[in-house]
Amino acid sequence: MIHAKNIHKFYDKLEVLKGVDLHIKKGEIVSIVGASGAGKTTLLQILGTLDKPDHNADSSLTINGRDILELQNVQNKSSKQERNFKIITWTGSIYIILLAVYLLFFRTKIFDDTLRLVASISLFLPIISMLFYYNRYFKKKSKQDKVLSDFRNLNLGFIFQFHQLLPEFTALENVCIPAHIAGKKPSETEKEAVKLLTYLGLSHRINHKPSELSGGEQQRVAVARALINKPDVIFADEPSGNLDTHSAENLHQLFFQLRDEFGQTFVIVTHNEELANMADRKLVMVDGQISN
């Protein structure tokens, strides 16, 4: 399901991930534990395609068979597309500077005589070609970005420590958002959201706003939101970090229930010993590497 090989990440000169290898099977619940600052959140963000690892000839990341680094253009830094972009930007900039110098110092000559036509064409043709090229380049890039964000929206779900629900929307509306983004039919989405919220024991709370819900309830709404597009993998970053013991236990049981019922894969960063030990596999992160 998830295969990561030799993942590196630098923040300036600080190497936060020092070559992480990770293989997670479908339907597995894996917990990641480790001291604060060990790189857990960074790793989760990269596995969740929310962040890019640093370029490394030996790195790879596939989720559900999709080559994520290719989608993110991480391994293509030296590709033809990027190289052309650099060449065109550099030659174009030099041309424009020369042109500006020419116009400043020899301005009058351009408009003098029969050279007028040749001069105008030679002035504007390169600039117009550059504009065309940039237009095509950025269109192509935004198409690539869309492929990635569609992949993320349809295949991956996220649960964070702070639920990050939108305060002005009801529980039901919050849950529906990822499905609306995916362009699913609103009537079906709403039915599915009600079903999910009911399954999570929130049927009497669907029209409440987050501020009217308890911490545990808010987190269950966030779980429903993460599940609405039926993702194959759910990434959770300290999902119960903000909950009391009882709500935390309920949430943890829910993860296992969901896995048994829907076969979902979970990657959970947690400081909660009990949750970490309940997982099928516990990975310990030490200083940017997985130590077991």
Interacting stretch for Mg ion, rule CB under 5 A, among 37-45, 78-86, 142-150, 250-258? 37-45
Q: Which helix (H) or strand (E) holds 34?
A: strand 29-34
Residue 139 Cα to chain centre, angstroms: 20
Asked if residue 264 binds Mg ion (CB under 5 A), the reply is: no
Shortest Å distance, C-beta 54 to Mg ion: 19
Query: Cα separation of 225 and 193, whole Å?
Result: 8
Is 10 a residue that touches ligand ADP (CB under 6 A)?
no
How far is the C-alpha of 134 from the C-alpha of 124, rounded, in Å?
A: 15
**3-state class (DSSP) for residue 282:** strand
Least Å from the CB of residue 42 to ligand ADP: 3
Give the DSSP letter of residue 59: -
- Which residue sits closest to Mg ion, CB atoms considered? 41
Return the residue matching tokens 């991930």.
17
**Binding-residue pattern over the window 15 to 54 for ligand ADP, x denoting contact by CB under 6 A:** -x-----------------x-xxxxxxx------------
> Which one, of 28, 75, 24, lies nearest residue 47 by Cα?
24
Judged by CB, which is closer to Mg ion: 229, or 272?
Answer: 272
Residue count at the site for ligand ADP (CB under 6 A)? 10
**Beta carbon nearer to ligand ADP, 158 or 193:** 158
Closest CB to Mg ion among residues 39, 157: 39
Give CA 270 to chain center in angstroms: 20
Contacts (Cβ under 8 Å, ≥6 apart) of 152: 48, 49, 50
Binding flag, residue 11, ligand ADP (CB under 6 A): yes
Residue 59 interacts, among Mg ion, ligand ADP, none and using kind-specific CB cut-offs from 5 to 8 Å, with: none
> Among residues 41, 59, 161, 264, which is the contact residue for Mg ion, using CB under 5 A?
41
What letter represents residue 54's amino acid? D
153-192: contacts with ligand ADP (CB under 6 A): none
Contact in structure between 49 and 101 (CB atoms under 8 Å): no
Binding site for Mg ion (CB under 5 A): 41
Binding site for ligand ADP (CB under 6 A): 11, 16, 34, 36-42
